[in-house]
Amino acid sequence: MRRIFGFLIGILVGGLVGAVIALLLTPEPGEELRSQLRERGQKFFEEIRHAADERKIELRQRLDEMRAPREG
């Protein structure tokens, strides 16, 4: 158990160190970088919403087809 806990702490610390180094070495100023990240995040969530809406429409159509009485 102690080894797993140590491993997880190592992953967390390594991730934080990597994130700080990446931010320090980026060529854009901080405000510009935050703006770009915000725009990418918003675009990502818009794409997810759009895909979810399309899937919802598709599933409703399938449900309507299954509920419709079959001729035959």
**Which residue bears the tokens 């035959």?**
72
Total domain count, the chain? 1
Which pLDDT score, from 0 to 100, does residue 50 have? Answer: 94
Which residue range is the domain that position 13 belongs to?
Answer: 2-66
Residue 18 lies in a domain: yes
pTM score above 0.75: no
What is the DSSP secondary-structure string of 6-61? HHHHHHHHHHHHHHHHHHHH-SS-HHHHHHHHHHHHHHHHHHHHHHHHHHHHHHHH
In a domain, 72, yes or no: no
* C-beta separation of 23 from 33 below 8 A: yes
Residue written as tokens 């491993």?
A: 7
Give the tens place of pLDDT for each residue, 14-54. 988 988 888 777 776 778 878 888 898 899 999 999 999 99
In a domain, 15, yes or no: yes
Confidence of residue 72 (pLDDT cuts 50, 70, 90): low
> Is 59 inside any structural domain?
yes
Residue 71 domain-assigned (yes or no): no
Confidence of residue 61 (pLDDT cuts 50, 70, 90): very high
Residue 41 domain-assigned (yes or no): yes
Residue 48 falls within a domain, yes or no? yes
